[in-house]
């Protein structure tokens, strides 16, 4: 079932309201509205430290078991390499699912979900935390249905219309060719 943009926006606003109420303020709700108003970035930095744009391949749409198609790209790197948020935003989920294993979801500009999967371990992030781009989210691994494969990050981007290919936004970016180091969390952040 597909929902139109108004339903998508209302859902995010409801989620934001719950998160901001539990955090004890409305600043987070205003921040979420700002994420809807800010356009999605046309270019993104590489989410894995030390990986260059020339090092990755476009695996978008590749066949997957069960008749699925790959809704993201795989960025291969040594186990334990830092995974960094490509955008500022709101950490919405830090947890585990069957396919992605250890996953982090960040709501970023343009109301896009940034999905980081197959992590070996999490960084010092938790749901409800506002982060700048470059924040350490976790470390490259092979959790979930990637168990036993070469360690990598599955990186996906989703918006109201569905999944979009992140590859062009990572490879058409001068910052992608630079090794990115993790940025420290803002004051008030705690390890999760």
Mean pLDDT by 10 residues, the chain (192 residues): 47 52 60 83 95 84 72 93 97 94 96 95 95 97 93 93 90 52 42 35
Please tell me the predicted confidence (pLDDT) of residue 30. Answer: 74
Give DSSP secondary structure letters for 45-85: --SBTT--GGG----TT-EEGGGEE--SEEEE--TT-EEE-
Q: So what's the pLDDT on residue 37?
A: 85
Backbone angles phi, psi at 18, to 5 degrees: -65, -45
Cβ atoms within 10 Å, residue 170: 25
- Set out the domains of the chain in order of their start, with CATH numbers: 41-177 (2.70.70.10)
* Predicted local distance difference test score (pLDDT) of residue 34: 81
**Contact between 106 and 114 (Cβ < 8 Å):** yes
């Amino acid at each position: 079932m597909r929902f139109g943009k108004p339903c998508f926006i209302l859902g995010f606003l409801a989620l934001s309201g719950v998160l901001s109420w539990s955090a004890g303020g409305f600043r987070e709700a205003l921040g979420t509205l700002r994420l809807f108003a800010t356009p999605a970035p046309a270019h993104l930095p590489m989410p894995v430290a030390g990986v260059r744009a020339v090092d990755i391949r476009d695996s978008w749409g590749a066949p997957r078991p069960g008749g699925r198609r790959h809704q993201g790209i795989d960025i291969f790197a040594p186990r334990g390499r830092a995974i960094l948020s490509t955008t500022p935003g709101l950490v919405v989920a830090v947890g585990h699912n069957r396919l992605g294993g250890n996953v982090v979801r960040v709501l970023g500009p343009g109301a896009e979900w940034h999905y980081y999967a197959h992590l070996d371990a999490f960084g010092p992030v938790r749901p409800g935390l506002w982060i700048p781009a470059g924040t350490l989210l976790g470390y490259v691994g092979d959790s979930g249905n990637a168990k036993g494969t070469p360690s990598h990050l599955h990186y996906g981007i989703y918006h109201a219309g569905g999944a979009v290919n992140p590859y062009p936004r990572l490879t058409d970016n001068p910052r992608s060719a630079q090794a990115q180091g993790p940025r420290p969390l803002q004051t008030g952040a705690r390890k999760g």
